Amino acid sequence: MSESWFEQIPNGTIVTPQGFQAGGLHCGLKKTECNDLGVIVCEVPAAAAAVYTTNLFQAAPLQVTRQSLSNGTLRAVVVNSGNANACTGQQGEQDAYTMRAETARQLGIAEEDVAVASTGVIGELLKMDCVTSGITRLPAAIGGEPEHAEQFCQAILTTDLVKKEIGVAVQVNGRQVHIAGAAKGSGMIHPNMATMLAFMTTDAVISAENLQQLLRTTTDQTFNMITVDGDTSTNDMLVAMASGLAGHEELTPEHPDWEAFAAGFRQVCEYLAKSIAKDGEGATKLVEVIVNGALNDLSARAIAKTVIGSSLVKSAMFGADANWGRVIAAVGRAGEPLNVNTVDIRLGDIVVLTDSRPVPFDEEKALQYLQGDTVQIVVDLHYGEGQALAWGCDLTYDYVRINAAYRT
């Protein structure tokens, strides 16, 4: 991916692309006074696409959003935090449809133009009096300024410590096109089709079909390559909306600027994915696994995700322990073909294994490196041309503390 194809926009937000506004407020779902209800609105019908969790227990909002997206367009997405509205039966489904209907009424748009997303505790019914009251106040909270994007970002957080947002610009037919994103996610993170909650906006001219294909491909390379704890949520959803207000020739894979747009699109996804991994519950560092020389890219991805998801590897990273044995054991159990005699492993630039045999290294230097806030594990299999990147975090005492008392 060439960085010359795009530039990151300083202080870029979900409302940077033309045609988008956002907002957020506190409606009473959270015990604190933090925002817990937000909305993104497009002034025109936007081409839209989405990917969802593959967990069989899918929350009610996903069913509603699927129905809204059946025609490939959206005008808005309404989001609540503090309650997942998952495993809540017929009442939960009805509540999700009520959220959609009330949002549409307040914005003066069709119900089918509204997507719904929820995040929080599973198995509890929404306090719909709080939700509907909050939705009636949303129009007054909506705007196109950075502070409105900030309020939206705060509204989608649960155990997150920081907001996650980015904007980039690319050139299409000589015109500047914006791509932006915002996401939440800190625990129950092991995407397998989508991730947590993430939202993307762009003013590019692109069909819903091409946006959907790009979203799926890019998700596999970014959001599907992160893990915090190996758990796939019931509510994971990634929604992308394109207003088309940049006014250039329609983007297709045959367009001369398609690669530039795809690179910018991937940059937004990768930045958000890495931000989620770095903000994993209790995490003290971002861990990046690079796999080279696998049979193919799919094989490399499987190996990289096995290493990044290993509790033993994650624990070693927390303890700054250069225990490469944890890494090679994960590589070996990934179920992918390899030559057990040709594996090299590095921790940063510190070589610890060559041709599957240990190499003497400076333990103190390794300790200092592993105590940093970003750690890179490089595995070279010398077996094929496959490559992959995966991101995660260390496993700490605080992860157990946070999740032992999540409901209380």
Q: What is the pLDDT of residue 182?
A: 96
Judged against a pLDDT cut of 60, whether residue 1 lies above it is answered with: no
Give me the mean pLDDT over the 306-311 stretch: 92
Which pair of structure tokens corresponds to residue 21?
A: 């506004």
36 plus 82 within the same structural domain: yes
Per the CB < 8 A criterion, the answer to whether 366 and 346 are in contact is no
Q: Whose structure tokens read 């073909």?
A: 337
Residue in the structure block whose two tokens are 């809204």: 68
CATH code for the domain in which residue 332 is found: 3.10.20.340
Look at residues 264, 277, 237, 279 and name the one whose alpha carbon lies nearest to residue 16.
264
Going by pLDDT thresholds of 50, 70 and 90, the confidence category of residue 58 is: confident
With pLDDT > 70 as the criterion, what percentage of the chain qualifies? 93
CA dist 31 and 49 (Å) reads 33
Q: Is residue 31 located within the same domain as residue 74?
A: yes
DSSP assignment of 181-201 equals: EEEE-SSS---SSS-SEEEEE
Taking only the tens place, the pLDDT of each residue in 68-94 is 999 999 999 999 999 999 999 999 999
Confidence (pLDDT) at 229: 59
Question: Once rounded to an integer, what is the mean pLDDT over residues 357-368?
Answer: 97
If you average pLDDT over residues 94-110, what whole number do you get?
Answer: 98
Q: Is the pLDDT of residue 30 over 60?
A: yes
Q: What is the rounded CA–CA span in Å between residue 15 and residue 144?
A: 6
- The reply to whether 314 and 237 lie within a common domain is no
- Structurally, the chain folds into a number of domains equal to 2
Sequence-distant (6+) residues with CB within 8 A of 254 are none
Give me the pLDDT at residue 396, please.
Answer: 81
Least confident stretch, 3-12, 34-43, 61-70, 261-270:
3-12
Q: Are residues 339 and 220 part of one domain? A: no
Average pLDDT over residues 338-363: 97
Would residue 195 show up in a list of annotated catalytic residues for this protein?
A: yes
**Quick one: 21 and 123 in the same domain?**
yes
Same domain, 263 and 343: no
One domain for residues 240 and 293: no
Say how far apart CA 67 and CA 69 lie, in whole Å. 5
Q: Indicate whether 37 pLDDT > 80.
A: yes
3 pLDDT tier (thresholds 50, 70, 90): low
Q: Report helix, strand or coil for 171.
A: strand
Q: Which of 232, 260, 278 is the last residue of a domain?
A: 278
Which residue has better confidence, 374 or 187?
Answer: 374
Residue 138 and residue 219 share a domain: yes
Domain closes at, from 225, 248, 278: 278
Shared domain check, 376 and 260: no
265 and 368 both lie in a single domain? no
Q: What is the pLDDT of residue 120?
A: 86
β strands within 323-385, DSSP E:
344-347, 350-354, 357-358, 374-380
pLDDT band at 56 (very low <50, low <70, confident <90, very high): confident
C-alpha 102: how far from chain center: 27
Q: Which pLDDT value is given to residue 408?
A: 58
Q: CA 28, CA 47: separation in Å to the nearest integer? A: 32
Instruction: Give pTM, 2 decimals.
Output: 0.86
Position with higher pLDDT, 394 vs 109: 109
- Average pLDDT of the residues in 30-37: 90
Which tokens hold the place of 238?
Answer: 């990634």
Residue-wise pLDDT for 126-148, tens only, equals 999 999 999 999 999 999 999 99
pLDDT at 100: 98
Amino acid identity at 130: C
Whether residues 255 and 325 share a domain: the answer is no
pLDDT digits (tens, 9 = 90+) for 397-407: 877 777 776 66
pLDDT at 170 over 70: yes
Q: Which of 103, 195, 219, 232 is catalytic?
A: 195
Q: With contact defined as beta carbons under 8 Å apart, do 19 and 277 qualify?
A: no
pLDDT at 194 > cutoff 60: no
Boundary-marking domain end, from 278, 301, 316: 278
**Mean pLDDT lowest for which of 148-152, 214-218, 233-237?**
233-237
Same domain, 223 and 299: no
Distance CA 34, CA 242 (A): 29
Query: Which CATH number is 148's domain given?
Result: 3.60.70.12
Res 270: pLDDT = 93
Domain around 93:
3-278
Cβ of 279: how many Cβ atoms within 10 Å?
24
d(CA 34, CA 346) in angstroms, rounded, equals: 43
User: What pLDDT was estimated at residue 407?
Assistant: 63
Residue 261 has pLDDT above 90, yes or no: yes
Measured between alpha carbons, how far is 404 from 408 in angstroms, rounded to an integer?
Answer: 9
What's the pLDDT at 42?
Answer: 98
